[in-house]
Structure 1
């Protein structure tokens, strides 16, 4: 009774949140945008109250995050079709067939050998069924586990994947809390990931594997910050083999592997601000990351695999477009100048601009402390998505998690407004509302620029230490 009296208000809001999550998972259609955004807005406000206002302890918040995830266990994702492709790939692999060599609609004989093949193809949609798989090998391993334990049930397979994703989020909570403790930052920061309805709905609910990728990555960062760079490199390689995105961060490790210079007169090591890059250790780090990635891909490597995999990845840059920002402006200019969509050309140029920006962060920014390193990663991935032709809501999980270890909060705002992108799925088919896309990015960019301007410099940080030097 004392517990109920003490926590009566948080418990009341917990019950309200549970009702909204049940509604979200079982009584909502993707094309009903009004209901979606209102329920999501209510859940986001409740999460804010839990994290920032109620002053709840770690275990209470952790328990809430787990309970909210468990609500989705027996449900089929209702906001995304991607999991049907996950099940297809896993069931193909369990038969010893590479999903990189066959498209779901390419062979009637092959389809007949896959359990519930027509349901899976109908579920994933014609566009997805016409392309080769672009999911890296470790990701495919999880799909195979689902096929192994529930290869004849779509719901059973979804439950297996969901349990794996929940375990990954619990791992992020564990290692993220340890990193926050090392940074002397409040533990509640990690709950902007773990208790965020965006994460609960998009990862646990809709079965996206960004959380699994981030689990291996945040585990790697924890080991790296404790001097265990070899094991960290292996885990970063594993993370890349879940989702390729961590490849973007590799250049910013350049200055982290530095050796303090010695004062010749006193033979005393100077601070990390006056140091030289330890190229030997840096090379070993990159080598282990690369070797790990190669080893995971080896079972699938062939000329046909390389061609299919790279061409499918290329589609995301030169063919697909969704919830873009800068790209949509460039596309509009292209229509005014040449009269057609110039995505094929722009899709080749924008990645080069992103690469130059990341190299700029690597060479000109002081990324020698853990906080500086994570902040550089946050800038890199945010800039990448700003220039991307396709930004699905669940992509924002990466900048969101990185932000909890920094002073920057714009990814938290982004995790709210990105749900406006669901307005594109109307009852009359796909129709992207560009004014809502503009609203989303205007809000995010204004907040980001305000936060960056208050920190004085983007590339060159002040020489003092402490929380503000992040």
Structure 2
């Protein structure tokens, strides 16, 4: 425990992002300690819960040194507190005209970097509310804002622990599984340490799954919309709820009377309607023609302009260079969402997802496919996969939560350059373990899928 606490302290305070050798070494140490801690204390729930909170509190007074995104969070929050719509203004334009209406504008502008400053914000409204909360209570001090944002993320993790434990109990799964998320160094560093709000999104999402398993589908829809309004990624899951409501695969419907599934389909339509209506209501204060244009432009950039730590995309990019002689990211970025949608629709309709645990494994594989094909795979994106795997028999996400630290080798110097050898190492190990697990699942009971 004390070794882990020291590692978290060093990563949170003295470490410089370019010291990737030190970072990987310390991360390896704390990851080994993580497994040892679970084995030693797996029967002591409240002890581990307390340790998990203590590890997070180690970061409380630190300025994130592995990510600069929080500067934009604080910028957006202060803009909102001052009554300015953060979706309508570029930091570059406001600084050039000298009209930025917030305190410490120059420090925040310098900290967020050119990439963020030159694009419109893409953070949904519940996320913006969190930023505004920090802006309201600490509108003149960056560290104060960081502390407030960090407390919100820690509280979200505590909520995930609470509802995750209850969902595991309801599914008859080992409660110890939750520590694979709550005590995982990747989660502690990327969410609490680096202030990524996947933790808040996951809190609402796990709460929604818990209510869905209990049968409260209307409130599930509301909470799922809240999750989307922190990060858009849960939108990908919407098709995968089909069988939970219809109770049948499409291939089975022809064998039964349509009336037996009609009621479930009507309920599914109502579920989708509540989700969409809630999202629209949450976005309503910001809606305008300019907002829609700006938001669409910004989201599109992630598919057609940015590339980082990708796997299949990098192979496709290499093939593109060989065939046409240039980077085909814009073309690939247009095709990839269509392929992902076809895959997700396919497993939602034809894979057996009627059991709740099997439905969660469908969510896991649907999102995995998206991350395997995306042009940009930042480390913190993995948090959602990790929490989903807690409710399945798959552990490739835990392996990935260690291997993804090698993506930080891109920051070994200020000029930023990915080492594709490390990217290849990361994905060879992850894909290898995933193939092993799939083979193991399908051979445990011949012809029967166990999760």
Q: Scaled by the length of structure 1, what TM-score is found?
A: 0.91
Match of 2:299 in 1: 313
Query: Structure 2 matches for 1:380-459, cutoff 5 A?
Result: 380-456=366-442
1:334 is matched with which residue?
Answer: 320
Alignment of 1:67-78 (within 5 A): 67-78=54-65
Aligned length: 440
How far apart, CA to CA, are the structure 1 residues paired with 2:332 and 2:148?
39
Find the aligned partners of 2:247 and 2:354 in 1 and give their Cα distance: 10
Give 2:32's aligned residue.
45
Whole-angstrom CA distance in 1 between matches of 2:38 and 2:172: 18
Distance change (3 Å), C-alpha of 1:407 and 1:123:
same
1:156 aligns with 2:133: no
Once the two structures are superposed, residues 100-155 of structure 1 have per-residue CA deviations (whole angstroms, 9 ceiling, x without a partner) of 11010112356442110010010000111000000001100000000000010000
What's the secondary structure of 1:429's corresponding residue? coil
Task: Tell me, yes or no, if the aligned pair for 1:461 and 1:469 is still in contact at 8 Å.
Answer: no
Structure-to-structure mapping, 1:291-370, within 5 angstroms: 291-370=277-356
Residue 125 of structure 1 corresponds to 113
Alignment RMSD (CA, Å): 1.9
2:190·2:196 contact (CA, 8 Å) conserved in 1? yes
Aligned mates of 2:157, 2:323 — CA distance in 1? 47
Deviation at 1:461, TM superposition (A): 8.0
The CA deviation string for residues 381-435 of structure 1, in whole angstroms up to 9 with x for no partner, is 1110000000000000000000000000000001000010000002252010001
- After superposition, the C-alpha distances for 1:32-84 in whole angstroms (9 at most, x for unaligned) are 11000000011111011111355441111111100000000011000000000
Matched, 1:115 2:100: no
| 68, 82, 98: which one aligns with 2:69 | 82
- One of 195, 212, 215 as aligned partner of 1:207: 195
CA distance in 2, matches of 1:353, 1:117: 41
- Residues 90 and 120 in structure 2, CA contact (< 8 A), matched pair in contact too: yes
**Equivalents in 2 of 1:131, 1:381: separation in Å?**
26
CA distance in 1, matches of 2:413, 2:85: 36
1:170 maps to what in 2? 158
Question: Aligned to 2:5, which of 18, 25, 28?
Answer: 18
Task: Work out the CA distance in 2 between the residues paired with 1:119 and 1:111.
Answer: 15
Larger helix fraction of residues? 2
Tell me which residue corresponds to 1:58.
45
Distance 1:199 1:441 in 2: 19
1:276: Cα distance to partner? 2.9
Q: So what's the TM-score if we normalise by structure 2? A: 0.95
* Matches of 2:64 and 2:410, distance apart in 1: 18
Partner Cα separation in structure 2 for residue 163 and residue 236 of structure 1:
22
SS for the counterpart of 2:261 is strand
**Structure 1 112/281 Cα, relative in aligned 2: closer, same or farther at 3 Å?**
closer
SS at match of 1:220: helix
Q: Is the 8 A contact 1:90 1:147 kept in 2?
A: yes
Any conservation in 2 of the 1:371–1:469 contact (CA below 8 Å)?
no
3-state SS, counterpart of residue 151 of structure 1: coil
Q: What is the rounded CA distance, in whole Å, between the counterparts of 2:109 and 2:42 in structure 1?
A: 47
| Among candidates 246, 249, 261, match of residue 276 of structure 1 | 261
Q: Distance in 1 between matches of 2:42 and 2:223?
A: 34
Secondary structure of the residue aligned to 1:430 is coil
Q: Which residue of 159, 168, 171 maps to 1:183?
A: 171
Q: 1:253 aligns with which of 209, 225, 241?
A: 241
Pairing partner for 2:180 from 187, 192, 195: 192
Q: Mean Cα displacement is larger for which, 102-111 or 83-92?
A: 102-111
Residues 110 and 193 (structure 1 numbering): CA distance in 2 closer, same or farther, change over 3 Å? Answer: farther
CA distance in 1: counterparts of 2:20 and 2:327, whole angstroms: 28
CA displacement, residues 209-238 of structure 1 (integer Å, 9 cap, x when unaligned): 000000000000000000000000000001
